[in-house]
Amino acid sequence: MIQLILMGLVMTFSLKVPFAHAQAAFPTKPIRLITYAAPGGALDLMSRIVAQCLTEQMKQAVVVENRPGAAGNVGASIVAKAPPDGYTIGMATSATHGINPTLYGKRMPFNAIKDFAPIGLAAELQNVLVVNASLPVKNLSEFVLYARAHPGLLSYGSSGNGTSQHLAGEMFKRVSQIDVVHIPYKGLSQAVQALMSGDLQFMFSTVSDALPHIRSGKLRAIGLASLKRSSLLPDITPIAEMGYPGFNVVSWFGFVAPAGTPAEIVKRYNQELVTGLEDPKMRSKLAQMGLEVSTDSPEQFASFIESEITKWAVWVNDSGASEP
C-alpha cells in the first residue's frame, strides 16, 4: 500500500515538473497582440510601441495584428475567443470596456468583464475642445455665449456615435445649455478635416489629432476635456476649471488576455508592461503622442473596468446615443 502511495506521488510530481518548467519558460513562441484600430492612429502606434518593448524584454517576438471594426468589438472578440495560453493578448479601451457594453447592449459579442483577464492600464489620451479658427470666439466663455445666440446652427463632429468625443459633446451640450447638432464621421481624421473646411464649427478631438492644426492656426483650442493639464498644450485650461466642475472625458488604453489565462502569466505581462511604461524614454515618446502613462495592477485594472462600465452607462443613456 505504501509503495502504491509513493508511486502515485512520484507520478504526480513528474507531471507537475514539466508544467512548472513550461510556465517558467514562457514565452517559447511568438505572441499576438490584437489592436482594434487601423494602422496609423494613436491606438495602433501605442500597440506597436508596447509590442516592441515586450519583444525586447521577454526575448520573444510580439506581433501586432490590426483588427478594426464595430468600435473595437471585432478585435476584442478575437481576444476573448483565443486560447487562454498567454500567446494572444489585446487592448482594452474606453470603448470596448467602457462605452460599448451599454451602447451595444444585447448585441455585444462578448462580456467585457467575464471574457477577459485584465493585465493592466497603460495610458490615457486627452481630448481637447477645438473650434474653427474663423469662428469669432477666443475662449470657452465666448463660445458658450455665441452658441446660445445661435441655437441649432452650430455643428460638431466625432468619429462616430457613442465615441468618447461624441459623448463629450453631448455632455458639454447638457452642462452648458447650448443647442448644437452632432454629425458622426467614419473616423476622427475625417471629422477634423470637416472642421477645418468649415463644415463643422467645433468638436472634441484627441490632443494628438488636433495638435498639428492648432499649431498651424487652423484650429483654436479653448478647453481641455480632462481634469489634468496637457504637457503638449500647457496654456489650455481644463473645462472643469472654467465653470464646469468634474467635466472629465478621456480615452484610456490597457491590455487584457482571454479569461482563464494562468494568473502567473498575467502577472508576468503586468510586470513587463509596468517596467516598460515607467521608463522615462518610453513616457517621453508616448507624451509626444498626447498619451499620459498610467499603470496599475491586474486587480486594480479589473476594478477600474467595472467602474468605467458603470460610469459610461449613465452618459450613454443620458445622451441617447445608439449603436453605430
Instruction: Indicate which CATH number applies to the domain containing 88.
Output: 3.40.190.150
Residues 133, 226 within the same domain: yes
Considering the domain architecture, whether residues 169 and 310 belong to the same structural domain is answered as no
Residue with cell 467602474: 307
Give a yes or no: residue 285 inside a domain. Answer: yes
- 137 and 223 assigned to the same domain: yes
Pair (92, 228) in one structural domain: no
Task: Calculate the alpha carbon distances from 235 to 8, 54, 141 in Å.
Answer: 71, 35, 16
- Residue 200 in any domain: the answer is yes
pLDDT of the residue at 56: 95
Asked if residue 104 and residue 54 are part of one domain, the reply reads: yes
- 222 shares its domain with 139: yes
Grid cell digits, residue 75: 478585435
138 and 78 in a common domain: no
The torsion of the CA quartet 46, 222, 193, 43, rounded to 10 degrees, works out to 10
Q: Which of 195, 210, 241 is the last residue of a domain?
A: 241
Name the strand (E) or helix (H) holding 308. helix 298-319
* End residue of a domain, out of 241, 271, 293: 241
Question: Mind listing the pLDDT tens digit of every residue in the chain (324 residues)?
Answer: 445 444 554 444 444 444 444 445 899 999 999 999 888 777 888 899 999 999 999 999 999 999 998 889 999 999 999 999 999 999 999 999 999 999 999 999 999 999 999 999 999 988 999 999 999 999 999 999 999 999 999 999 998 888 889 999 999 999 999 999 999 998 888 999 999 999 999 999 989 889 999 999 999 999 999 998 988 899 999 999 999 999 999 889 999 999 999 999 999 999 999 999 999 999 988 888 888 899 999 999 999 999 999 999 988 988 877 766
| Structural domain count, the chain | 2
pLDDT of residue 169: 95
pLDDT of residue 24: 58
Final residue in a domain of this structure, among 180, 209, 241 = 241
CA–CA separation, 98 vs 310, rounded Å? 8
- The answer as to whether 24 is a domain residue is no
- Give the pTM: 0.83
- Looking at the structure, tell me whether residues 74 and 176 fall in a common domain: no
Q: Is position 206 within any domain?
A: yes
23 in a structural domain: no
Residue 14's pLDDT is what? 45
DSSP string of 9-36? HHHHHHHHHHHHHHHHH---S-EEEEES
Domain that holds residue 104: 31-125+250-319
Whether residue 54 is found in the same domain as residue 153: no
Is 14 a member of any domain? no
Q: Indicate whether 115 belongs to any domain.
A: yes
Give how far Cα 181 sits from Cα of 34, 201, 213, 301, Å: 35, 10, 23, 35
CATH number of the domain bearing residue 191: 3.40.190.10
Domain co-membership, 120 together with 149: no
**103 occurs within a structural domain:** yes
Q: Are 151 and 162 in contact (CB under 8 A)?
A: no
Q: Do 110 and 138 fall into the same domain?
A: no
Q: Decide if 189 contacts 222 (C-beta within 8 A).
A: no
Are 197 and 262 within one domain? no
